[in-house]
């Protein structure tokens, strides 16, 4: 069990590094990805 | 060891008694009638007679031998002591080895300790603490210990009813005991020994059943709690260091700062911002919505459009601020300014399409003209601003296991100290 925690901690720290390196924020405003060609993107 | 055993006859009952430590034994208690015999007297005269019929049978018979810490010990004496009114009785087995001298096996509630008398005097380390070598011991129990029953041999002039003040200080698996009377102070140090180990060592068919937690019983969660605590602290340190590194290396560059006004009279409140460049391959985009709202709300739909790829990201932000005065107290709810993030946005040239909606003030002022209502707001974008969400989220993912083990570790300790008048947990419980 305790070694599982060690592995879990490594995974969490890896997530932290990868997330911060890529600007990933799970709590961010709901950034729904729109596909190119969607009517919204042609407002301009 | 067997060659040294001498046999004598009890002058009271005629029982044949083995003298296993001749020359060192001062008092001998007859296993049959309980009479105390002067072992230093060549005539083995009776010191006192035991007035009650013997009813206590030692769990380890006298004469039993067993190996503890690589030394063979023989049980030569047994006594039961208790607090006044025969409360909390505990049993002590005197062990003997001709080369090593005497040791004790002490049993209370089925919990055993292997005890050695020590010469060094522990150092006082606070009102309820003593220190021996590097270990700090905490007061667990203090009271009178009265000899109730003895059989076998003892290296001092033991007497039924003899009372000493006993103080026990614990640092599991160790216990430091001080026994004192007007004449002397004797310190001893015990180490917890598992009951099944005692049973195996002396080849016993049964052993007194255990109840509760022993004063110096090792906490079964300690090893795991220590490991988990250490692991958590290491990784917490790593996260904090990495957070500082990310903070130092983040751009936090303002890429847009524009003001717009929502007009209720407009059929559509839509704006397209000027183009802006987002640096870095991938990073977040912090959005701040700053308003002058007064008892109303403003909601925005934000479409972030990559002009190079036509890929777009849709998000929503809402700001509301209400305040008032009720029951003699002023109150407020919400904020006029909110910040949030677009997550993981690739670099490139972008613009933002904003669609806003707003609510009228509540309660509606008298003679309020809905058609002229306006809600100005400002939108500010920062590229690659370090937030705290990932840090707190990661800590939250790491925390449950330490909390779980801490809970069980503490529950075990509380159960141990429940038996004590000096519990460090008592004041906490009283407060709750």
Best to test chain A binding among B249, B309, B319, B343 (most A CBs inside 10 Å): B343
- Residue B217 token pair: 């019983």
Nearest to B242 among A16, A30, A41 (CB): A16
pLDDT at B50: 66
- Residue B186 token pair: 């004797």
3-class state of residue B331 by DSSP: strand
The burial class, CB within 10 Å (0-12 / 13-18 / 19+), for B62 is: buried
Tell me how far CA of residue B231 lies from CA of A7, B62, B235, B282, in angstroms: 10, 49, 6, 31
How many CA atoms, within 13 angstroms, populate the side-chain half-sphere of residue B357?
Answer: 5
Q: How far apart are CA B213 and CA B110, in angstroms?
A: 10
List CB contacts (< 8 A) between A12 and chain B.
235, 394, 397-398
List CB contacts (< 8 A) between A25 and chain B.
284, 341, 343-344, 387, 389-390
- Say whether A36 and B309 touch across the interface (CB within 8 A): yes
pLDDT at B240: 98
- Say whether A44 and B353 touch across the interface (CB within 8 A): yes
Shortest alpha-carbon distance between residue A15 and chain B (Å): 8
B32, B13 Cβ separation under 8 angstroms? yes
Other C-beta atoms within 10 Å of B330: how many? 8
Shortest alpha-carbon distance between residue B5 and chain A (Å): 52
- Say whether B311 and A1 touch across the interface (CB within 8 A): no
pLDDT at A27: 80
pLDDT at B431: 47
- Say whether A40 and B401 touch across the interface (CB within 8 A): no
Per-residue pLDDT of A1-44, as tens digits, reads 778 999 999 999 999 999 999 999 888 775 566 655 544 444 43
- What are the average pLDDT values for consecutive 10-residue runs of chain B, which has 432 residues? 71 84 85 83 80 76 94 95 92 95 96 96 94 96 93 89 95 96 93 96 95 95 95 97 96 97 93 95 95 94 94 93 92 94 95 95 82 94 94 97 96 94 74 45
pLDDT at A43: 41
Pairing type for strands B374-383 and B276-291 reads antiparallel
Shortest alpha-carbon distance between residue B341 and chain A (Å): 5
List CB contacts (< 8 A) between B387 and chain A.
25
- Say whether B227 and A2 touch across the interface (CB within 8 A): yes
Q: How far apart are CA B199 and CA B196, in angstroms?
A: 5
Best to test chain A binding among B241, B250, B284 (most A CBs inside 10 Å): B284
**Predicted-complex ipTM score:** 0.81
3-class state of residue B154 by DSSP: strand
- Say whether A28 and B315 touch across the interface (CB within 8 A): yes
Give the A window 1-44 contacts with B, CB below 8 Å. 1-2, 5-6, 8-9, 12-13, 15-17, 19-38, 40-41, 43-44
Instruction: Output phi, psi for B249, to 5 deg.
Output: -95, 0
Q: How far apart are CA B375 and CA B318, in angstroms?
A: 13
The burial class, CB within 10 Å (0-12 / 13-18 / 19+), for B131 is: middle
Nearest to B310 among A28, A31, A41 (CB): A41
- Say whether A25 and B285 touch across the interface (CB within 8 A): no
B26, B156 Cβ separation under 8 angstroms? yes
Alpha helices in B112-215 (DSSP H): 195-201
**CA R_g for chain A:** 18
pLDDT at A44: 36
> Between helices B389-398 and A2-21, what is the axis angle to 10°?
170
- Say whether B315 and A27 touch across the interface (CB within 8 A): no
- Say whether B312 and A40 touch across the interface (CB within 8 A): yes
Other C-beta atoms within 10 Å of B225: how many? 21
Instruction: Render B55-121 in DSSP notation, one character per residue.
Output: ----SS-TT-EEEETTEEEEEEEEEEEEEGGGEEEEEEEEEEETTTEEEEEEEETTEEEEEEEESSP
The angle formed by the CA atoms of residues B393, B398 and B403, to the nearest 5 degrees, is: 120
First and final C-alpha spacing in chain B: 58
Handedness of CA B91, B96, B101, B105 (dihedral sign): negative
Backbone angle region of B199, left / alpha / beta, with phi > 0 → left and psi within -120 to 50 → alpha: alpha
Closest-CA residue of A relative to B274 is A44
Other C-beta atoms within 10 Å of B294: how many? 12
- Say whether B284 and A8 touch across the interface (CB within 8 A): no
pLDDT at B15: 86
B101, B110 Cβ separation under 8 angstroms? no
- Say whether B384 and A33 touch across the interface (CB within 8 A): no
């Amino acid at each position: 069990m305790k070694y599982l925690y060690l592995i879990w901690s490594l995974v969490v720290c890896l997530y932290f590094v990868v997330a911060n390196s890529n600007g990933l924020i799970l709590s961010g405003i709901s950034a729904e990805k729109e596909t190119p060609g969607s009517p919204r993107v042609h407002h301009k | 060891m067997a060659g040294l055993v001498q046999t004598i006859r009890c002058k009271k009952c005629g029982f044949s008694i083995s003298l296993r430590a001749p020359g060192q034994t001062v008092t001998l208690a007859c296993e049959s009638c309980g009479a105390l015999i002067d072992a230093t007297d060549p005539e083995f005269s009776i010191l006192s007679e035991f007035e009650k019929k013997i009813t206590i049978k030692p769990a380890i018979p006298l004469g039993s031998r067993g190996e503890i810490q690589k030394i063979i010990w023989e049980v030569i004496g047994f006594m039961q002591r208790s607090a006044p009114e025969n409360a909390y009785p505990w049993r002590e087995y005197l062990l003997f080895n001709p080369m090593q001298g005497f040791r004790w096996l002490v049993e209370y509630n089925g919990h055993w300790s292997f005890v050695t008398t020590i010469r060094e005097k522990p150092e006082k380390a606070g009102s309820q603490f003593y220190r021996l070598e590097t270990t700090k011991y905490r007061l667990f129990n203090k009271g009178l210990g009265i000899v109730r029953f003895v059989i076998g041999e003892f290296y001092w002039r033991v007497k039924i009813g003899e009372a000493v003040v006993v103080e026990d200080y614990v640092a599991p698996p160790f216990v430091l005991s001080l026994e004192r009377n007007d004449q002397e102070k004797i310190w001893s140090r015990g180490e917890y020994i598992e009951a099944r180990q005692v049973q195996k060592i002396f080849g016993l068919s049964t052993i007194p059943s255990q109840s509760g937690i022993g004063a110096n019983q090792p906490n079964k969660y300690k090893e795991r709690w220590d490991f988990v605590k250490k692991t958590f602290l290491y990784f917490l340190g790593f996260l904090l260091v990495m957070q500082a590194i990310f903070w130092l290396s983040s751009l936090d560059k303002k890429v847009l700062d524009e003001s717009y006004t929502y007009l209720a009279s407009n059929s559509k409140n839509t704006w397209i911002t000027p183009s802006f460049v987002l640096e870095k391959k991938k990073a977040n985009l912090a959005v701040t919505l700053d308003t002058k709202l007064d008892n109303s709300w403003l909601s925005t739909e934000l479409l972030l459009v990559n002009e190079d790829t036509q890929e777009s990201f849709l998000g929503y932000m809402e700001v509301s601020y209400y305040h008032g005065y009720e029951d003699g107290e002023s109150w407020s709810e919400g904020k006029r300014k909110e910040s949030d993030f677009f997550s993981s946005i690739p670099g490139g040239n972008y613009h933002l399409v904003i669609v806003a909606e707003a609510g009228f003030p509540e309660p509606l002022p008298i003679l309020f003209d809905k058609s002229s209502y306006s809600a100005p707001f400002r939108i500010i974008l920062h590229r690659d601003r370090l937030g705290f969400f990932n840090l707190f989220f990661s800590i939250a993912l790491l925390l449950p296991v330490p909390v779980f083990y801490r809970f069980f570790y503490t529950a075990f300790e509380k159960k141990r100290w429940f038996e004590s008048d000096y519990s460090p947990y008592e004041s906490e419980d009283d407060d709750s």
